[in-house]
Amino acid sequence: MDGIILINKPKKLTSHDIVKKIRILLNESKVGHFGTLDPMATGLILIGIGKATRLFPFYSKLTKIYKGQIKLGYSTDTYDSYGKPTTENKNVFPSEKRIHEIIKMFEGNISQIPPPYSAKKYKGKPLYKLARKNKKIKLPATQIKIYNLTVLKYNPPYIDFVTKCSSGTYIRSLAHEIGKKAGCGGHLSALERTDIDDFHVNESFTVEQISSMVRKNRVNEFLSPLEKLLPQFPKITLSETGASKTRNGTAVKTDDILNIKSESTAEKKNDSLENKQIFRLFSPEGNLIALARKKQGKENIYPFTVLETEPKISTSKGEYHAK
> In whole angstroms, how far apart are CA 69 and each of 81, 189, 215?
11, 5, 37
Beta strands in 2-141 (DSSP E): 3-9, 31-33, 42-49, 64-72, 108-112, 121-122, 125-126
Angle at 127 between CA 126 and CA 128, to 5 degrees: 95
Rounded Cα distance, 221 and 250, in Å: 35
Check: CB of residue 193 under 8 Å from CB of residue 254: no
- Please name the amino acid found at residue 180: K
Handedness of CA 218, 223, 226, 227 (dihedral sign): positive
48 contacts 230 by C-beta, under 8 angstroms? no
At 296 the three-state DSSP class reads coil
Separation of alpha carbons 305 and 108, rounded Å: 33
Residue 295: beta bridge partners?
none
2: annotated active-site residue? no
**Which of 90, 82, 65, 117 lies closest to 12, judged by CA?**
82
For 50-184, list the strands marked E by DSSP.
Answer: 64-72, 108-112, 121-122, 125-126, 142-155, 158-165
What is the SS3 assignment for 273?
Answer: coil
Backbone angles phi, psi at 71, to 5 degrees: -105, 115
> Would you give the DSSP letter of residue 232?
T
**Active-site annotation holder among 2, 17, 38, 77:** 38
| Residues 266 and 234 sit within 8 Å (Cβ to Cβ) | no
Instruction: Kindly list the catalytic residues.
Output: 38
